[in-house]
Amino acid sequence: MNLTAIVVDDEANSRAIIRNYLGKYCPSVTVLGEAASVQETITLLAQHTPDVLFLDVEMPYGNAFDLLEQVPDRSFEIVFVTAYDHYAVDALNAQATYYLLKPIAIDNLIKAVDHVSHIRQREKELQDAVLIPKVTTTEGKITIPQQDGFEVLKISDILYCQADDNYTKIYLDQGQKLVSKTLKYFEDSLRTEGFVRTHKSFLVNVSKITRYRKGKGGSIVLSSGKELAVSSSKKGVLLDYFK
């Protein structure tokens, strides 16, 4: 899988070597930035969310372990890159993913990247398994993924869902949410919860409909006052709910 990285080393030549090696032998890695000190790294981490840090141990005004103490909830993997082997135990205690000795052997760099890639892929699979939107019918709730976890919504609070390319906007009694799932996904998830597809762009909570206006397809008015078009092909399915 593709990875993003930040290269941290106080020596410009060392940073250039890692960057060039990655570009030539590990094209799946995109370098987001470089830093020469703990503070520069902290600044970069405030701007980016890399998959991996290629991290030298010894730097001016603090070392790698000082840096990691300032980022206790890190989400990135760590590949130590150092000329000294006596930091290996400390690196292990810091939960490093890999330990590379300078001068860097290309084969070892490739192994490190492959190892990080395997870990990130596994994390993604686990996250997808846990954070995909799903309905808990016994509790009347649905979970939607967020960057830092997931949010639980009461199905009864949902007015309607609107397609937005490969995303879906969920409109609630209060506010709205944007979710990286298609409208078809929510149609399949919510069809047994009183939701009906009234249009190629809309999935509506039938309990929120307060009025239907006639027409070729017609339109519906929701409890919020929002009026939505009904396509002629979906009109029959909608009206079946009110027989």
Which pLDDT score, from 0 to 100, does residue 131 have? 52
What integer is the mean pLDDT of 158-181? 92
Confidence class for position 160, pLDDT limits 50, 70, 90: very high
How far apart are alpha carbons 187 and 161 in whole angstroms? 9
Token pair for residue 7? 């290269």
Q: How far is CA 222 from CA 181, 212, 238, in A?
A: 23, 9, 14
pTM, full prediction:
0.56
Give phi and psi for 177, each to the nearest 5. -135, 145
The per-residue pLDDT for 185 is 87
The string of pLDDT tens digits covering residues 5-60 is 999 999 999 999 999 999 999 999 999 999 999 999 999 998 998 999 999 988 87
pLDDT band, very low/low/confident/very high, at 137 (cuts 50, 70, 90) = very low
C-alpha span between 150 and 152 (Å, rounded)? 7
Give first-to-last CA distance, the chain, whole Å. 52
Tell me if residue 91 falls in helix, strand or coil: helix
Tell me how many degrees the CA angle 43-124-32 measures, rounded to the nearest 5.
30
